[in-house]
Structure 1
Amino acid sequence: MRSVLAVSLFGLAGLTFASPLQSHSERSEVPSGFVTTNGTSFQLDGEPFAFVGTNSFWLPLLTSEDDVHMTLETMAAAGVEVVRTWGFNAINASELEFATSTNLTYYQVWNSSGWTLNEGPQGLQRLDYVVSAAAMHDIRLIITFTNNWVGYGGADLYVNWLAGAGATHDTFFTDPTIISSYQQYVQTIVNRYKDSPTVFAWELMNEARCTSDLLASSAACHPGSGTLGLWYQQQSDYVRSLDPYHMITTGGEGEFYWAQPDEYWYNGTLVSDYNFNGEAGEDFEWTLGLPNIDFGVYHMYPQTWYPELDYPGSNFSVEEWGLDWIEAHALTAQMVGKPIVIEEFGATGLDNKTAIYPAWVQRTLDTNHAGIMWWQWGQLNLTEDGGNQAFKYTDAIVNGASPNDGFTVYTNQTSVFDVFT
Structure 2
Amino acid sequence: MKTRLIIALVISISISSCSSYKRHFVKVKDGDLILKKRAYTFIGSNYWQGMNLGAPNSGDRERLVRELNELQALGIKNLRVVAASEGDIDMKYCIHPALQTSPGVYNEDLWKGLDFLLSEMDKRDMKAIMVLGNFWTWSGGFPQYLKWANAGNIPFPQDEGTSWKDFTDYSLKFYTDTLAQAMMNNHIEKIINRKNSITKKRYKKDATIMAWQLANEPRGYDAPKDFLKWTQNTSAYIKSLDKYHLVCLGTEGNTNDTISGTDVYRDNNNENIDYITMHIWPQNWGWFNPKQGEEKFQEAIEKANEYWNDHVAVAKTLNKPIILEEFGIARDESSYDPDAQTVWRDKFYNHLFAKVLNSIQNGGVVKGLNFWTYSGEAKPERPGEYWEKGDAFLGDPPHELQGWYGVYNTDKTTLDLIKKYTIKVNTNE
Under TM normalisation by the shorter chain, which class is it?
Answer: 0.7 to 0.9
1:120 and 2:113 are equivalent in the alignment: no
Offset, 1:169: 2.2
Query: Where does the alignment leave 5 or more consecutive residues of structure 1 unmatched?
Result: 1-27, 212-220, 256-274
Q: 2:373 aligns with which of 376, 389, 399?
A: 376
> How far apart, in 2, do the equivalents of 1:396 and 1:232 lie?
32
Letter in 1 for 2:387: T
Q: 1:203 aligns with which of 194, 198, 213?
A: 213
CA contact (8 A) 1:300 1:344 kept: yes
Aligned to 1:416, the other structure's residue is in SS state helix
Letter in 1 for 2:50: L
Q: 1:150 corresponds to which residue?
A: 137
> How far apart, in 1, do the equivalents of 2:231 and 2:391 lie?
38
Q: Structure 1, residues 121-155: CA drift from partner, whole Å, max 9, x if none?
A: 2x211111111111111111111011111112110
Q: 2:313 aligns with which of 314, 325, 331?
A: 331
Offset, 1:77: 1.4
> How far apart, in 2, do the equivalents of 1:187 and 1:402 lie?
28
Aligned to 1:333, the other structure's residue is in SS state helix
CA contact (8 A) 1:389 1:397 kept: no
Q: 1:189 corresponds to which residue?
A: 191
> How far apart, in 2, do the equivalents of 1:417 and 1:334 lie?
32
Q: Aligned ranges for residues 70-149 of structure 1 at < 5 Å?
A: 70-94=66-90, 104-110=96-102, 115-121=103-109, 123-149=110-136
Q: 1:416 corresponds to which residue?
A: 414
CA contact (8 A) 1:41 1:50 kept: no
Identical columns (%): 23
Offset, 1:310: 8.7
Greater alpha carbon shift after TM alignment, 355-364 vs 197-206: 355-364
Query: Where does the alignment leave 5 or more consecutive residues of structure 2 unmatched?
Result: 1-17, 54-58, 154-168, 195-202, 332-341, 397-401, 420-429
> How far apart, in 1, do the equivalents of 2:144 and 2:390 lie?
26
CA contact (8 A) 1:105 1:126 kept: no
Q: Aligned ranges for residues 143-292 of structure 1 at < 5 Å?
A: 143-165=130-152, 168-192=170-194, 193-210=203-220, 221-222=222-223, 225-255=224-254, 275-292=255-272
Offset, 1:69: 1.4
> How far apart, in 1, do the equivalents of 2:130 and 2:382 lie?
24
Distance 1:312 1:73, change over 3 A: closer
Q: 2:351 corresponds to which residue?
A: 359
CA contact (8 A) 2:395 2:407 kept: no
- Hey, which of these two has a bigger chunk of strand by percent? 1
Distance 1:204 1:400, change over 3 A: closer
Greater alpha carbon shift after TM alignment, 33-42 vs 289-298: 33-42
Distance 1:399 1:209, change over 3 A: closer
Offset, 1:363: 1.9
> How far apart, in 2, do the equivalents of 1:395 and 1:55 lie?
21
> How far apart, in 1, do the equivalents of 2:220 and 2:267 lie?
15
> How far apart, in 2, do the equivalents of 1:141 and 1:247 lie?
11
Q: 1:406 corresponds to which residue?
A: 404
CA contact (8 A) 1:389 1:398 kept: no
Q: Aligned ranges for residues 297-308 of structure 1 at < 5 Å?
A: 297-306=277-286
Greater alpha carbon shift after TM alignment, 402-411 vs 369-378: 402-411
Letter in 2 for 1:416: T
Q: 1:13 corresponds to which residue?
A: none
* Paired residues, number: 349
> How far apart, in 2, do the equivalents of 1:232 and 1:400 lie?
30
- Alpha carbon RMSD of aligned pairs, Å? 3.1
Distance 1:182 1:35, change over 3 A: same
> How far apart, in 1, do the equivalents of 2:106 and 2:209 lie?
21
> How far apart, in 1, do the equivalents of 2:67 and 2:403 lie?
18
